[in-house]
Structure 1
Amino acid sequence: MAFFALVGISNAQENDVALVTKDSTESVTKVKLDGIAAVIGDYVILDSDVEKTLIDLKSQGASTEDITKCSLLGKLMEDRLYAHQAVQDSLLVSDDQVNAQSDRQIQQLVSQVGSMEKVLKFYKKSDVESFREELFEINKLRMLSEKMQTKIVEELEVTPEEVRQFFYKIPEDERPVFGAELEIAQIVKQPTASEDEKQKIIDRLNQIKQDVEDNDASFNVKAILYSQDPGSKSKGGFYSMTRETPFVKEFKDVAFSLQEGEISDPFETDFGYHIIYIEKIRGQELDLRHILLIPEIPQSAIDDAVKELDSIRQHILDGKYTFADAALNFSDEKETKNDGGVLRNPINYGSRFELTNMDPALYNQVRNLKDGEISRPLREDDQRGGPPKFKIMKISNRYDEHKADFAKDYLKIQELALREKQFKAIKEWMDEHIEDTYIHVNTGNRGCDFANNWLKQ
């Protein structure tokens, strides 16, 4: 987003934004800075905003072959209409929230390219402050836009009758085709460390805490040296988070119980044992550092887990109990054990996984399984740094590629029906607020075939 000073906007709508200067002979010089593409409420879109959006898309590797200047301008106008109305409706975002998002982006960029200097060079910025200011404006507009869009659709639901009507109004030869899908169940054993090993880890974390508190040792350095969290170790254990950040409950509960500058006692999560240091509190946002230590699991515990899974598998094959009963009674995975071991798709929380969209790691675990077959024990390492787990798996059901069936594919059809209802609600909202909002499109852009009635014709 570009920055400019604009006075008398009504007189400048058809013209370029210009900087007016006077030389020693009092002659007036106009220096062209940028052109106005459109005005939406309180927001001005410059020609450079459109060009920069195209450049950003290309830098992200997106295909821009079918993207036109008119379509990009239309999207920027939509975003600004959402943001403008969000302000009118008092759907505000705090500066702390926006700054925290900008900080996360900067951290990610620095980790990708290696230094802040390289980031500034890539984005052609002379200093960190100007870069932060630009990120702030971009993120504030985006967050306002998202908040408005969420408000428009958040209470929309579809009834079973609406789903039925949606499906049967689609001509039979035009109904969607769903790809091959699997239903997968698993029984998990999580080997654990001995109590002595756990206490050794707790004692080590207490020593680190004492060294920081009593001897002014650097928590940052300690995290780099000792933490076993791959996501934050290189950053000195740093995370910025709110209560909505997807961290495990135990971690968030401890983090939000601490004061600025305080270090927690050691506590346990599924990943291991942690201590947290609160670096800064900004409203509902926390800047923290943490150290994760994972107790070493002895080979004997791993061997016992594999042996138990082998035994469970054989009992199922012998008909002693069903896979679902075994999951309920023996699995250590609380998320699946009460559901017969059935895995839930994180996309829609249904039980089916479409083969073309499956996580590659999960696909590799089941790709050679025949229907009804139970795998041998498999080891699964936690990519987030937690201890490994072992499991046996089974394909409960297989659905070949097929044309949509109302009974078999109800959840997918329900999702499509809801999406259509949301799209209609957004379109109605857009039409209504275009009429009610001050909008001006520069003469040079009035030939665009916009998807929305920006020209109010």
Structure 2
Amino acid sequence: MPLKTINSKLIIKAALVVCFLSFNYSSAQEIIEDEKPQVEKTKDSITNQTRIKADGVAAVVGDYIILESDLDREIAQLKAQGANLEGYSRCELFGSLLESKLYAHQAIQDSIVVNELYIQQRTDQQIQGILAQTKGDMEGLLKFYKKDSEQALREEMNEINRNGYLAQQMQEKVTKDIEVTPEEVRTFFNDIPKEERPVFGTELKLAQIVIIPEVTEQAKQDVIDKLNEFKRDVEENGANFTTKVLFYTEDSGSKSTGGKYTLNRKQPRMVKEFRDVAFSMQEGEISEPFATEFGYHIILLEKIRGQEYDVRHILLRPELTQESIQKAKDKIDEVRAKIVDGTLTFAEAAREFSDEEETKFEGGQLTNPMTQDFNFELTRMEPELYAQIQDLKDGEISEVFQDEDRVNRIKFKILTVTDRIDDHEADFAKDYLKIKNLALQDKQIKAVEKWQKETIADTYIKINGEYRDCDFNSNWLKK
């Protein structure tokens, strides 16, 4: 009985950085003869049943050789990223792995450049995620990956993530220029039978006012002085810059790597001020303290490799005084009181008092980052935001919340519900943006389907072992 895959056009949320899509194709493939690799009994990572694991060549896609153990490692990484794999067969996941290798192979042919900074950060996150689940069992992690050191493990995971990144970039290249016209959106909607039209859940429109405690000039100067002290100690006394990073930096994202980032002139992923300073320096130089929205930095430029700059940095954030924190709290209490007694409307107060530039000029109206409109579907709202507004009636003003974000350690805010749309069947006029997104996704899926069909036909592909029995939706093998 052939193993079955699920006919799905859904994205597996955490899957290997690349969107795994399944399609039906027809193209000739070549099958390699069975090998006789070493075998061992093991527990299946999805079903938890005992199965025979053969770590031989499971497939070849272009320049990529896929081992049986590669799938187990990919599944482990998916679980570490929080993916729910219940209901997905090994065949489906293996088909997704084949697709990612196809994208990666073609990305190399198209000379797509890898962002090494992103790769290193992703590997760090994955390792920390797995260790969090295994209570810091690095020895067990190395045993699973059959590595004798953390460095060897990082190199292998970097390679896996590098291939995933190439796959993602290739897929984006296929779909990035695809757009839909209003007429295409209308046609897409009208082609959906009425009984099959989607139902959208209850949606809210939200607004907020944010007050941020002011940082004093003295606090800023204290941080600048401390960074200058670090710089002098390294330059004049031979102190180790990386050691100071480990002891003092407030950038949690780079602390574990000694504050290291790799910048690429062609890929502007870092804030402008940081890039401008780094790209103006010479190897071995330490910058003067400079400010970004995150705080104050100094940079050590370690190496220039063509378009890539290896840097280490220390980030310090000015301390907030209790006086400035209390002043901000008093201010938002006063603003809330004026709204409640009718002196100001919420929108007027936001425009006059809010410190959040992104929302104040819209009367505090929040934009949904997923849909880019003002509507937040209740069941898909971030848990923290949901907890803050779940008991609010329309037009009611929330209590004052103390919050934080990646820039501000402390901020105070109040929220209100400006509109509520109960759950309803999709309506072309009311839900145009959502329907447009569905139409765009449908068009992108068809474009990827066409690209994949053509690329499979032109790429050297072999399938081996138990995976010959998979009923792939894409025709990786010819039956």
Provide the TM-score with structure 1 as the length reference.
0.82
Whether contact under 8 Å (1:53, 1:72) holds in the other structure is no
Q: Structure 2 matches for 1:308-387, cutoff 5 A?
A: 308-382=331-405, 384=406, 386-387=408-409
Please show how residues 416-431 of structure 1 align to structure 2 within 5 Å: 416-431=438-453
Contact 1:224 1:236 in 2 (8 A): yes
Confirm or deny: 8 A CA contact 1:336 1:343 kept in the other structure. yes
Identity of aligned residues (%): 52
Report SS of the residue matched to 2:96.
Answer: helix
What's the counterpart of residue 84 of structure 1? 105
Deviation at 1:55, TM superposition (A): 5.4
**Out of 186, 189, 204, which is 1:164 matched to?**
186
Greater Cα shift, 296-305 or 435-444: 435-444
Deviations 1:278-331 (A, max 9, x none): 334444444433333332323332333233323333333454443223222322
Map Cα deviations across residues 391-436 of structure 1 (whole Å, 9 max, x no partner): 2222111222222222222211111111111111111112222233
Flag structure 1 segments of 5+ consecutive residues without an equivalent. 1-9, 20-32
Residue 70 of structure 1: which of 70, 91, 94 is its match? Answer: 91
Mapped pair 1:435 → 2:453: no
> Structure 2: which amino acid aligns with 1:301?
S
Corresponding residue for residue 400 of structure 1: 422
Contact persistence 2:30–2:477 (CA under 8 A) = no
Deviation at 1:81, TM superposition (A): 2.2
Q: Residues 294 and 387 of structure 1 are in contact (CA less than 8 Å); yes or no, is this contact kept in structure 2?
A: no
- 8 Å contact from structure 1 (residues 40, 77) kept in 2: yes
Q: Quickly say closer, same or farther: Cα 1:434–1:194, change in 2 above 3 A.
A: closer
What SS does structure 1 have at the residue aligned with 2:87?
Answer: coil
Greater displacement, 114-123 / 397-406: 114-123
Contact between 1:270 and 1:386, CA under 8 Å: does it hold in 2?
no
- Counterpart in the other structure of 2:113: 93
Q: Unpaired runs of 5+ in structure 2?
A: 1-28, 39-53
Q: Could you say which structure has the larger radius of gyration?
A: 1
For 1:51-70, what aligned pairs fall within 5 Å after superposition? 51-54=72-75, 57=78, 62-70=83-91
Query: Cα deviations across residues 176-204 of structure 1 (Å, max 9, x unaligned)?
Result: 11222221111222221322232222222
Q: Are the equivalent residues in 1 in contact too, given 2:80–2:126 (CA < 8 A)?
A: no
2:167 equivalent in structure 1: 145
Deviation at 1:63, TM superposition (A): 4.8
Hey, what's the Cα distance between the residues in 1 that align with 2:317 and 2:151? 39
Q: Could you tell me how far apart the structure 1 residues matched to 2:233 and 2:137 are?
A: 30
1:7 aligns with none
Residues 204-243 of structure 1: pairs in structure 2 closer than 5 A:
204-233=226-255, 236-242=258-264
Residues 206, 417 of structure 2: 8 Å contact kept: yes
Q: Give 2:206's aligned amino acid.
A: I
3-state SS of paired residue (1:16): coil
Q: Residue in 2 aligned with 1:109?
A: 127
Kept after mapping to 2: 8 A contact 1:187/1:337: yes
CA drift of 1:157 comes to: 0.8
Instruction: Check the 8 A contact 1:40/1:440 in 2, yes or no.
Output: yes
- 1:4 is matched with which residue? none
Q: In 2, are the aligned partners of 1:102 and 1:135 still within 8 Å (CA)?
A: no
Asked if 2 retains the 8 angstrom alpha-carbon contact of 1:91 and 1:148, the reply is no
Helix, strand or coil at the partner of 1:396:
strand
Distance 1:318 1:107 in 2: 48
Worse-matched range after superposition: 364-373 or 50-59: 50-59
Instruction: Look up the SS of the partner of 1:39 in the other structure.
Output: strand
**Aligned residue type for 1:109:** I
2:119 corresponds to which letter in structure 1?
Q
- Look up the SS of the partner of 2:373 in the other structure: coil
Shift of 1:371: 1.0
How far apart in 1 are the matches of 2:249 and 2:62? Answer: 50
Distance 1:224 1:111, change over 3 A: farther
CA distance in 2, matches of 1:11, 1:170: 39
Q: Which segment drifts farther, 265-274 or 105-114? A: 105-114
Greater length-normalized contact order (CA 8 Å, ≥ 6 residues apart):
2
Match of 1:186 in 2: 208
Report the Cα offset of residue 339 of structure 1: 1.6
Which amino acid in structure 1 is aligned with residue 165 of structure 2?
A: M
Aligned residues: 431
Contact 1:272 1:386 in 2 (8 A): no
User: In the aligned structure 2, how far is the partner of 1:46 from the partner of 1:122?
Assistant: 15
CA distance in 2, matches of 1:65, 1:379: 38
Structure 1 residue 155 corresponds to structure 2 residue 177: yes
Separation in 2, partners of 1:136, 1:108: 10
Distance 1:432 1:215, change over 3 A: same
Q: CA RMSD in A?
A: 3.3
Could you say what secondary structure the match of 1:45 adopts? strand
Amino acid at match of 1:367: Q
Amino acid at match of 1:13: I
76-85 or 108-117, larger mean C-alpha shift: 108-117
